[in-house]
Amino acid sequence: MNSSTLLLAALILLGVGAVITVFIARYRTLCGYVAFVVVLVSSVWISLVSWTALTTGPVTVPLNFVTITAFNSSLEFVVNELSAIFLLLTAFIMTCASLFSIRYIQAPMYQRYSLTRYYPILLLFYISVISVLSVHNMLFFLCFWEFMTWTSYVLVVFHWVEPESSSAGLRYFIAAHVGTGCMVLATIILYSHAGMLDFSALRDTMAQLMVSSPVTAHTVIGLFVIGFATKAGILPFGFWIPAAYRAAPGAFSAVMAGCLEKLGVYGVLVVFMLLTPVSRHTTVWGVWIAVLGTASLFVATLTALQQTDSKHLLSFHSIGQVGYIWLGVGAGLALLRISPPLAVMALVAGLFHAINHGFFKSLLFCSASSAVYRTGVRDMDKMGGLMYIMPVTAVSAIVGSLSISGIPGFNGFVSKWLIFAGTIMGGLSIPSLVFMGIAAIFISAVTLASFVKFLGMVFLGKLEVGPEVERREVPVSMIIPQVALGIFCILFGVLPVVAIKPLYTAVSRMLPGNYAPTFASVFGSSPLTVNLSLTGTASGSWGPIVVLVAFAGCLALAYFIFRMGGAQTRTVPMWLCGEEHPFAEVRYPVHSFLLPFNRLFATIYPSIPMPRLPRPSTILRALNIDDWLYYPGLRLGERIIRVLRATHAGNSQLYMLWVIVGAALAIIVLFTM
C-alpha cells in the first residue's frame, strides 16, 4: 500500500475497532487486547506515512466525494512535515496508553464501569486527533476538533458516578467549547473575506487583511490564540486541567498530557506558519505568546510545589511545561524577521520540548497511575517506599523526574537549554526575552525541588503501606509502556541530534522560500554534539556523551576509593531517643519539602513592601462554575426526581389516572398543532 492508502486504512481500522470493542466490552481483557492490536497496527501505518512526509515531502489524500458546497469545502488529508512530527508522537503515546490500559482499567476502582465508554471512545479519539493533524481545510478542522472534544470529554467523565468526575468534566466541557467558539468566530470572519476555507486561500486572505484591515487580522489571530491556548492549558485559559487530569483514568491522563495539549501547540504553529505571512505583526504576537508561556510556567510550577495529590502535582506541571513550549515557540516567532538563525533555533527548541514533554509527562502519569493501581490512594502522605515492591516503576519515575527537571543526560535538559539560549541571545534584539529566559531557568530549579518531593514521598524512604497492598510489581503490560517511554527520555538526552534534525526539517520547510539557514549553520555538523553557531562564531556546545563518560569515570573512581578503604555498611533502625513511635509521627510529610523553599523566600522578600490587592470576589465567583451552575442544577434535578418518585405510590388506580391525563394532554397538543 502507498502512503495515501495507509492513512485511510489506519482511520478505517480504528473505526472498525471501535465497533468491535462495543460488542466485546464485557470481556474486559479480550477487549483491551483487541483495542491495543488495532492501535498498534494503525500507529505503524501512521508512522510510515509520517516518515514519508518527513523524507520525501507532504502526503496528500483527496476525498473529493466528501464536499460541503455551501462552504465551498472538500475533505482532503495532507500530512506535511509539521503534522508528521505530531503524528509520530501521537502514534507512540497512543500505543503505550492502550497497552497500559489493558490491566490498569481492570483495577477494582473501575470494575463497576462498562468498557463501552472507554475503548470505543479511545479509538474514536485517536481518529479525531489524526484527522485534526491532517486536514487542511478550516471547516473540517473545526469539525474534527469538536469531535475530539466530545470523545475526550466522555473519557474525562469515565467515573461518571463520582461528583468530582462530573464537576471536572463540566469545567472541561465549558472551557473547551468557549475556546472552540472563539475559533469558529475567527473562521467566520475569514470566510466572509475569503469565500473559501482551504488553508492556502486563508493565507492569502490573512496577507491582504494585514495590509487593508490590521484590526480585523489581529482579532482573528487573537481568537485563534485563545482557542488553542485553552486546549494547550496555558493560563489563565487552562484552569480546567488540574481537575480533568485528576478525574480521568490514569492512562487517558497520560494521553491528554502527551497528545491533547500538543494540539494547542500545533494549532498556534499552523496559524503563524501556514495561515499568516511573516511580518512585524508576527513579532508582536510572538512576544505575547512568550509572555503567556512564561506566566504559565512560573505560576503553575510554583503551585505544583504545594500539592499533596500525585496526579494534581503532575497536572500543574503539565501547565508549566507547556509554558516552556510556548516560550520557545513565541521567542521563535518574535525573532523571525530579526534573526532567522535564532528564530529557527527557538522554534526547534519549542518543538523539541513538546516532543520531550510528551515522553516524560506520559511516563510520569503512567508511573503515578501504577502507584495508585497498587496502593489505591493518590495522597503522597499515604505512600512511601514503593521502590521496594515496584522497582521498575520506581526507576521509570526517576527517569521521568530527571527528564522534566532538565538534568543533563536526559531529554528535558537539551530542549530547555536551547530555549534558554534562544531567549537570552534573542534578548539582544528583544530585551524582554532575557527576563523570560531567566524566569524559565529559575523555574527549572523549582521543578527539580517538586520532583524530589514526588520521588521521596512515593517511591523512596521506608515502605509503609497497609497489609491489603500486594508486595509486587504492576503487571507486565503496565511496565512495558513505562520502559519504552523511559528509553526515549534517555535516547533523546544522549543523542539529541537524532531528534533535532527532523524537527529542523519540519520548521525549515514551513517557512517561506530559503528563509531558514542550513542545519549546520545553526546546530553544527556533528552527529553527537549540538554546536550552536548563531553569530558565525561558536555560541555554545553540548556533548552529552563526553559529559556522561566523564561522569561515569568519576563514579568509578569514587567506587574504587570506597572499595580500597574497606568500609563496612550496616542497616540499623532509626534512633528515636529510646522510644518507639508510629512511622506516621516521624516521617517527613509532603509539606516539609517546602520549608527550605519558603525560608529562602522569607529572607529575600520581607524588606520589599508588597501591595495588598483586593480579593476579586466577583470574578472568583464567576469562575467557580460549581457554585452557580453544577450544584444548583444537581439540586434541581434531585427535587424533580423526588416529585416524580412521589407519583409512583404503587397504586394501580393512580397509574391509570396518569395514563388518562397523559392521553388527554397528547390529544390537546395534537389538535392545537
pLDDT at 623: 57
DSSP 461-498: S-----TTS-SSPPPHHHHHHHHHHHHHHHHHHH-HHH
Structure confidence at residue 57 as a pLDDT band (50, 70, 90): confident
Verify that 509 and 648 share a domain, yes or no: no
Please name which of 199, 322, 191, 310 lies closest in space to residue 256, comparing C-alpha atoms: 322
Domain boundary among 443, 478, 513: 513
Residue 306: its pLDDT value, please?
A: 78
Question: Does residue 20 lie within any of the structural domains?
Answer: no
Q: Is the pLDDT of residue 360 over 80?
A: yes
pLDDT at 535: 59
Q: Report which DSSP code applies to 136.
A: -
Position 556 in a domain: no
- DSSP assignment letter at 567: -
* Residue 65 clears pLDDT 90, i.e. is over it: no
Q: State yes or no: pLDDT of 220 exceeds 70.
A: yes
Check pLDDT > 80 for residue 301: yes
**So what's the pLDDT on residue 374?**
86
Q: Which of 483, 513, 543 is the last residue of a domain?
A: 513
Instruction: State the average pLDDT for the chain.
Output: 84
Q: Are both 347 and 479 inside the same structural domain? A: yes
Q: What are the pLDDT digits (tens) for 227-279?
A: 999 888 888 888 888 888 888 888 888 888 888 888 999 999 988 888 888 88
The more confident residue out of 457 and 271 is 271
Considering the domain architecture, whether residues 420 and 285 belong to the same structural domain is answered as yes
Shared domain check, 504 and 631 = no
In this predicted structure, what is the pLDDT of residue 275?
86
497 and 625 assigned to the same domain: no
Looking at the fold, whether 340 and 474 belong to one and the same domain comes out as: yes
Q: How many domains does the chain have?
A: 2
Identify whether 533 is part of a domain: no
Q: What is the pLDDT averaged over residues 144-172?
A: 85
pLDDT of residue 608: 46
pLDDT > 70? residue 21: yes
One DSSP character per residue, 489-553 reads HHHHHH-HHHHHHHHHHHHHHHSSTT-SPPHHHHH-S-SS-EEE-TTSS--EEE-HHHHHHHHHH
Asked if residue 66 belongs to a domain, the reply is: no
Judge whether 202 lies within some domain.
no
- pLDDT-derived band of residue 463, with 50, 70 and 90 as boundaries? confident
Q: Is the pLDDT of residue 547 over 70?
A: yes
Domain boundary among 513, 530, 552: 513
Residue 528 lies in a domain: no
- Given a cut of 50, whether residue 316 has pLDDT beyond it is yes
Task: Answer positive or negative: Cα dihedral of 205, 206, 207, 211.
Answer: positive
The pTM of this model reads: 0.85
Task: State percent of the chain over pLDDT 90.
Answer: 25
Alpha helices (H) in 24-111, listed in sequence order: 28-56, 81-104
Print the domain residue range for 628: 621-672
pLDDT of residue 378: 77
Say yes or no to pLDDT of 457 above 60: yes
User: Quick one: pLDDT band at residue 348, thresholds 50, 70, 90?
Assistant: very high
Q: Is 462 exposed, middle or buried (0-12, 13-18, 19+ CB in 10 A)?
A: exposed
Compare 590 and 71 and report the one with higher pLDDT. 71
> Which pLDDT score is estimated for 613?
45
- The candidate with the shortest Cα–Cα distance to 360, out of 244, 262, 482, is 482
User: Per-residue confidence at 43, pLDDT binned at 50, 70, 90?
Assistant: very high
Half-sphere exposure of 68 (CA within 13 A, CB side): 14
Cell of 173: 466541557
The torsion angle over the Cα atoms of residues 54, 507, 261 and 256, rounded to 10 degrees, is 20
- 430 found inside a domain: yes
Q: How far apart are CA 307 and CA 91, in angstroms?
A: 31
One domain for residues 491 and 630: no
Other CB atoms within 10 Å distance of the CB of residue 573: 6
Q: Is residue 469 part of a domain?
A: yes
Determine contact, residues 523/500, Cβ cutoff 8 Å.
Answer: yes
Residues 310, 434, single domain; the answer is yes
Reply yes or no on whether the pLDDT at 206 is more than 50: yes
